[in-house]
Amino acid sequence: MTAFCRIALLALLPLLLAAGTPKEAPENESERLAKQLLELEVRATALRELEQDLDQKIQTLEELRLQTLAVIEPGEKERQGKLDTLIKFYQAMKPQSAARLLERLPTRLAADVLSSMKSRGAGKILNVMNADKAVRISKRMAGQMK
C-alpha cells in the first residue's frame, strides 16, 4: 500500500466507521470503544509502514552518499596533491614573481594557494599584487565571496 493510500485511508476511516444510517448512534460504550481501538490499530499499522518506508529511504540515501564519496574522494586527493605542488612553487618564488603569476589564476585557485601558504609569505605576495585582485582573493579566503 502506498503512502498516499495509507494517508487517504486514515482520513476516510472516521467516515467509514460512522457508516450506516445517519440517525444511527453507537449502541453502547463498548461498541464506541471498539471502533476507537480499531481506528488506533489501523493508524498504528499505517505509521509502522510509513516508518519502514522512511527507514528504507534513509538507508538508500546513506548508500548513495557513500558511493558519491567514493567517487569524489580520489579526485579530491589528486587535486590536493597538485595544489600542494603549486604551493611549494609559489613559496619558493620572490613575492613579485609569485604575485604576477597568481594574478592570472582564477580567484578561487589563487585563494586556495595563498590560504595554504605560510601567512607571512602570502601577505608579502598580496602586498605586491594588483589591488583589485588582492581584494577578490582576500574576500574568497575569508569566505565572503561565493
pLDDT tens for each residue of 19-76: 554 545 556 888 889 999 999 999 999 999 999 999 999 999 999 988 888 887 787 7
The residues, any chain, with a CB within 8 Å of residue 56's CB and separated by 6 or more, are none
Query: Is position 57 within any domain?
Result: yes
Residue 80 lies in a domain: no
Residue 79 lies in a domain: no
Residue 86 lies inside a defined structural domain of this protein: no
Q: Which percentage of the chain shows pLDDT scores above 90?
A: 52
Per-residue pLDDT tens digits for 106-118? 999 999 999 999 9
Residues 37 and 100 in one domain: no
Within a domain: 50: yes
CA distance 130 to 126: 8
Q: What is the pLDDT of residue 8?
A: 65
Let me know: does 91 contact 114? Beta carbons within 8 Å.
Answer: no
Number of domains in the chain: 2
132 lies in some domain: yes
Query: What is the domain extent for residue 28?
Result: 1-73
